[in-house]
């Protein structure tokens, strides 16, 4: 086993050495091209493309959560709250839900005359992002003085609070109108309209695909830029040692709340998109299980590793929405067993996670730093002669 | 290395940091009891005392990690008693820790760059857009961090190593470099020679003087090694059981009866 691993490592190093320095860029361009061509290879209502739309939405969720958990090291178990708030932002601002209001901003066609609040789709996405960023900062406040497991408990409770509010929404009236549709959901949402693309519909899901594809690219861009910035370093410093970080001049409150807010904003935008795509904002969806599902993507891919998280999210979403229900569902039946694979969905997940955690605890594509930790020799510099000179000051020399 | 000192010029010898009857209680335990210390500008001052005397607690109050229960702390003419640690750092106070607290998963260079945080301006949007001034700032900070690491004697090929994987002595260097990165005017060193052999301690002692001269620093240190303390300090404050029992020049403190008792026990 160890020999095999050493051999693989050797090959990898050999391959990496032979690749030109621009290969990551080339790979990224290839992948983007592949992503752009993919829906053209299938029919406009193909179920696989439908799955990929969901998978890309989960990539966005996972990238958002990765900022909070991976970069800043704040274990957030209530991420579903931002899915819910983003979805509701879409439901409230893009449907006839608040039927007493008549607000129309940059909407097209018949939507322009309907009662309710109807904003342009892109405008709603921006509003959802801002709204959830604000909510994220608020949920961050009570966790500021907490560490580790305690943050997990507070955020978990926050997720549950939002869920219960969503469920009880029909009883909560503002201006005589219910806040949410509870388990019946908010339906009749506006189909998005973009100039040049037209009205989105379920008869051709390609525009949906391209929309979320672009959203994911934007998310990736922001993630990479922020990770390699002053703010990204501050998050990692806080994650590594909070006391040292504040002593080095990093403002604790600001920095942590920015992590919560940015992570929440991506969750909210993805939530709004998902609300638009499924056309139903149903309180029954906002389960604790969602938070765990997204967290599993982050951990499976590699905490703090942007590309790892993308792979983790694509993998788990495809297994969950495509491989198990569509491809292998009848496998046990074909083997003469009396159950469907979907019955075992959760246990299959558990099993996969256990395997990955045992074989690759650092995740599928570990963060660069974690990789360094594992590959770099420990205390390499100790092997060299111990340096007793401090900046050219030799022992015995006297500085006046 | 060049030093930009943002604060107004002060007369040499006037106190840059002044603690006035500062106390800290944890529940019923009085860890520091009405301790007053003056740190003259440009000097090297030591705080010594047996284990548990309250030295580190005192340090933590000076840097804002602990809020003092009573008393007043003034830095460079400004009352910082109730300021947050990051604000105090920005005012020009930097520190190291007794048990090295580097960011283990960051490289030596990154550690020093983080130390520069409070002198940088790039925010969320600036970083996303990566405006020309943000790029310029990043580049300047990288160069400066490398310079600072060289200044404390780290070899260039160690800059990109994870700080966790550096040897103990090199970790000490990186920690001092990280503290220097914020352009401090007052540097607090918490037992900088802990775990060092006599030659290393001697070299560090000289290095402290060099830093003070090169960077126009004032240094306040906690130290156990008497050779270092007596060799480098211009003033010494002795704490025992949270109280100040002596203060003065090294020669006076060495002869002080209460200090000898605190260290060696009372003769019966």
Of the given ranges (B1-5, B97-101, B149-153), which has the lowest mean pLDDT? Answer: B1-5
**Does A201 reside within a domain?**
yes
Q: Which segments in chain A show pLDDT lower than 70?
A: 1, 370-400
CA distance B220 to B239: 14
- Residue A209 near residue A59, CB atoms below 8 Å: no
Task: Give a three-class secondary structure readout of chain A.
Answer: CHHHHHHHHHHHHHHHHHCCCCHHHHHHHHHHHHHHHHHHHCCCCCHHHHHHHHHHHHHHHHHHHHHHHHHCCCCCCCCHHHHHHHHHHHHHHEECCCCCCEEEECCCHHHHHCCEEEECHHHHHHHHHHHHHHHHHHHHHHHCCCCCHHHHHHHHHHHHHHHHHHHHHHHCEECCEECCCCCCCECCECCCEECCCEECECCECHHHHHHHHHHHHHHHHHHHHHHCCHHHHHHHHHHHCHHHHHHCCCCHHHHHHHHHHHHHHHHHHHHHHHHHHHCCECHHHCCHHHHHHHHHHHHHHCCCCHHHHHHHHHHHHHHHHHHHHHHCCCHHHHCCCCCCHHHHHHHHHHHHHHHHHHHCCCCCCCCHHHHHHHHCCCCHHHHCCCCCCECCECCCCCCC
Residues 343-382 of A with CB under 8 A from B: 369-370, 372-373, 376-382
* Chain B environment of A256 (Cβ under 8 Å): none
pLDDT tens-digit readout, B111-137: 999 999 999 999 899 999 999 999 999
CA distance A338 to A346: 18
Look at residue A231 in the predicted model and tell me its pLDDT.
Answer: 96
DSSP one-letter string for B95-158:
E--SS----TTSBHHHHHHHHTGGG----HHHHHHT-HHHHHHHHHHHHHHHHHHHHTT--GGG
CB contact under 8 A, B199 and A231: no
Question: Could you list the residue range(s) of the whole structural domain that residue A276 is in?
Answer: 44-287
Look at residue A25 in the predicted model and tell me its pLDDT.
Answer: 85
* Chain A environment of B105 (Cβ under 8 Å): 236, 240, 369-370, 373
Look at residue A60 in the predicted model and tell me its pLDDT.
Answer: 98
CB contact under 8 A, A234 and B182: no
**Does A112 reside within a domain?**
yes
C-alpha distances in Å from residue A129, one per residue of A180, A207, B36, B124, B130: 19, 21, 51, 15, 21
Residues 27-86 of B with CB under 8 A from A: 63, 65, 84-86
Q: At what angle do helices A23-37 and A206-227 cross, to 10 degrees?
A: 160
Average pLDDT, chain B: 90
Residue B264, pLDDT above cutoff 80:
no
Look at residue A381 in the predicted model and tell me its pLDDT.
Answer: 41
State mean pLDDT over B6-32: 80
Look at residue A338 in the predicted model and tell me its pLDDT.
Answer: 77
* Chain A environment of B210 (Cβ under 8 Å): 390-391, 393, 399
CA distance B96 to B115: 11
CA distance A302 to A317: 16
Look at residue A249 in the predicted model and tell me its pLDDT.
Answer: 94
- Name the pLDDT band for B63 (thresholds 50, 70, 90): very high
Does residue A134 or residue B1 have the better pLDDT? A134
- The interface predicted TM-score of the complex, written ipTM, equals 0.91
Of the given ranges (A107-116, A293-302, B40-49, B61-70), which has the lowest mean pLDDT? Answer: A107-116
- Taking the mean position of all CA atoms in its chain, how far away is CA B115? 13
* pTM, two decimal places: 0.89
Does residue B159 or residue A1 have the better pLDDT? B159
State mean pLDDT over B5-17: 64
Look at residue A329 in the predicted model and tell me its pLDDT.
Answer: 78
Look at residue A400 in the predicted model and tell me its pLDDT.
Answer: 47
**Does A33 reside within a domain?**
no
- Name the pLDDT band for B5 (thresholds 50, 70, 90): very low
Angle at A64 between CA A58 and CA A70, to 5 degrees: 110
Instruction: Provide the terminal-to-terminal Cα distance of chain A, rounded to the nearest Å.
Output: 61
- CB distance from B90 to chain A under 8 Å? yes
* Chain B environment of A241 (Cβ under 8 Å): 101-104
CB contact under 8 A, B162 and A389: no
Scanning every residue of chain B, which has its alpha carbon at the shortest distance from the alpha carbon of A252?
B86
Q: Best interface-test mutation with B: which of A223, A244, A303, A305 has the largest number of B CBs within 10 A?
A: A244
Look at residue A134 in the predicted model and tell me its pLDDT.
Answer: 97
CA distance B77 to B90: 15
State mean pLDDT over B145-157: 94
Of the given ranges (A387-396, B169-178, B245-254), which has the lowest mean pLDDT? Answer: A387-396
**Does A156 reside within a domain?**
yes
* Chain A environment of B167 (Cβ under 8 Å): 379, 381-382, 386
**Does A21 reside within a domain?**
no
The CATH code of domain B37-92+184-268 reads 3.40.50.300
Q: A37-45 — which CB contacts under 8 Å span 24+ positions?
A: A38/A209, A39/A205, A39/A206, A39/A209, A39/A210, A40/A206, A44/A203, A44/A204, A44/A205, A44/A206, A45/A202, A45/A203, A45/A204, A45/A205
Does residue A352 or residue B91 have the better pLDDT? B91
CA distance A230 to B145: 14
Tokens of B166: 């550096």
Closest residue to A399, CB basis, from B85, B128, B206: B206
Look at residue A386 in the predicted model and tell me its pLDDT.
Answer: 45
Residue B11, pLDDT above cutoff 60:
no
Of the given ranges (A350-359, B96-105, B209-218), which has the lowest mean pLDDT? Answer: A350-359
Residue B1, pLDDT above cutoff 60:
no
Task: CATH 3.40.50.300 in chain B: give the residue spans.
Answer: 37-92+184-268
State mean pLDDT over B139-147: 96
Does residue A390 or residue B30 have the better pLDDT? B30
Tokens of A284: 């029954």
* Chain B environment of A233 (Cβ under 8 Å): 106, 110, 113-114, 117
Look at residue A8 in the predicted model and tell me its pLDDT.
Answer: 83
CB contact under 8 A, B127 and A231: yes
Number of domains in chain A: 1
């Amino acid at each position: 086993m160890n020999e095999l691993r050493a051999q693989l490592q050797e090959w990898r190093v050999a391959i990496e050495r032979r690749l030109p320095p621009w290969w990551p860029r080339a790979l990224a361009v290839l992948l983007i091209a592949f992503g752009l061509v993919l829906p053209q290879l299938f029919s406009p209502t193909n179920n696989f493309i439908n799955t990929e739309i969901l998978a890309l939405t989960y990539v966005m969720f996972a990238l958002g959560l990765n900022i909070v958990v991976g970069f800043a090291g704040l274990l957030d178990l209530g991420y579903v709250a931002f899915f819910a708030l983003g979805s509701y932002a879409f439901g409230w601002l893009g449907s006839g839900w608040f039927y007493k209001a008549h607000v129309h901003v940059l909407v097209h066609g018949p939507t322009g005359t309907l009662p309710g609040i109807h904003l342009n789709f892109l405008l709603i996405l921006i509003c959802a992002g801002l709204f959830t960023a604000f909510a994220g900062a608020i949920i961050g406040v009570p966790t500021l003085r907490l560490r580790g497991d305690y943050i997990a408990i507070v955020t978990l409770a926050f997720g549950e609070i939002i869920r219960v509010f969503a469920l009880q929404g029909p009883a909560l009236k503002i201006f005589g109108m219910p806040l949410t549709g509870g388990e019946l959901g908010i339906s009749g949402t506006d189909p998005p309209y973009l100039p040049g693309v037209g009205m989105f519909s379920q008869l051709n899901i390609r525009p949906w695909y391209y929309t979320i594809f672009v959203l994911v690219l934007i998310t990736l861009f922001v993630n990479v830029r922020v990770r390699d910035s002053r703010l990204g370093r501050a998050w990692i410093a806080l994650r590594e040692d909070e006391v040292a970080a504040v002593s080095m001049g990093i403002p604790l409150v600001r920095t942590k709340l920015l992590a919560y807010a940015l992570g929440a904003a991506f969750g909210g935008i993805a939530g709004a998109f998902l609300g638009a795509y499924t056309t139903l904002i149903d309180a029954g969806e906002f389960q604790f299980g969602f938070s765990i599902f997204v967290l599993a993507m982050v951990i499976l891919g590699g905490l703090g590793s942007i590309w790892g998280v993308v792979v983790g999210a694509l993998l788990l979403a495809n297994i969950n929405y495509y491989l198990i229900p569509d491809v292998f569902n009848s496998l046990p039946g074909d083997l003469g067993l009396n159950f469907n694979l979907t019955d075992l969905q959760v246990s299959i997940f558990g099993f996969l996670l256990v395997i990955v955690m045992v074989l690759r605890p650092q995740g599928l594509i570990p963060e660069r730093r974690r990789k360094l930790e594992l590959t770099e020799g420990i205390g390499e510099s100790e092997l060299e002669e111990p340096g007793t000179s401090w900046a050219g000051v030799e022992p015995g020399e006297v500085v006046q | 290395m060049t030093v930009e000192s943002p604060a107004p010029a002060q007369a040499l010898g006037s106190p840059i940091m002044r603690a006035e009857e500062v106390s800290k209680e944890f529940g019923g335990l009085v860890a520091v009891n009405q301790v007053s210390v003056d740190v003259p500008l440009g000097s090297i001052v030591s705080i010594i005392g047996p284990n548990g005397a309250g030295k580190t607690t005192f340090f933590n109050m000076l840097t804002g990690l602990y809020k003092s229960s009573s008393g007043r702390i003034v830095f460079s003419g400004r009352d910082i008693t109730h300021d947050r640690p990051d604000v105090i750092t920005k005012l020009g106070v930097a520190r190291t820790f007794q048990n090295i607290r580097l960011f283990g998963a960051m490289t030596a260079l990154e550690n020093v760059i983080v130390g520069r945080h409070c002198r940088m301006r790039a925010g969320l949007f600036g970083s996303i857009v990566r405006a020309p001034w943000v790029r310029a700032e990043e580049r300047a900070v990288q160069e400066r961090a490398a310079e600072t690491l060289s200044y404390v004697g780290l070899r260039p090929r160690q800059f990109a190593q994870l700080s966790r994987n550096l040897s103990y002595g090199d970790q000490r260097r990186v920690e001092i470099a990280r503290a220097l990165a914020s352009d401090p005017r007052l540097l607090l060193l918490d037992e900088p020679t802990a775990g060092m052999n006599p030659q290393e301690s001697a070299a560090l002692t000289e290095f402290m003087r060099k830093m003070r001269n090169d960077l126009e620093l004032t240094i306040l240190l906690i130290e156990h090694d008497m050779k270092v303390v007596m060799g480098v300090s211009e003033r010494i404050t002795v704490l025992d059981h949270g109280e100040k029992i002596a203060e003065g020049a090294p020669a006076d403190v060495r002869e002080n009866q209460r200090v000898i008792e605190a260290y060696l026990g009372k003769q019966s």
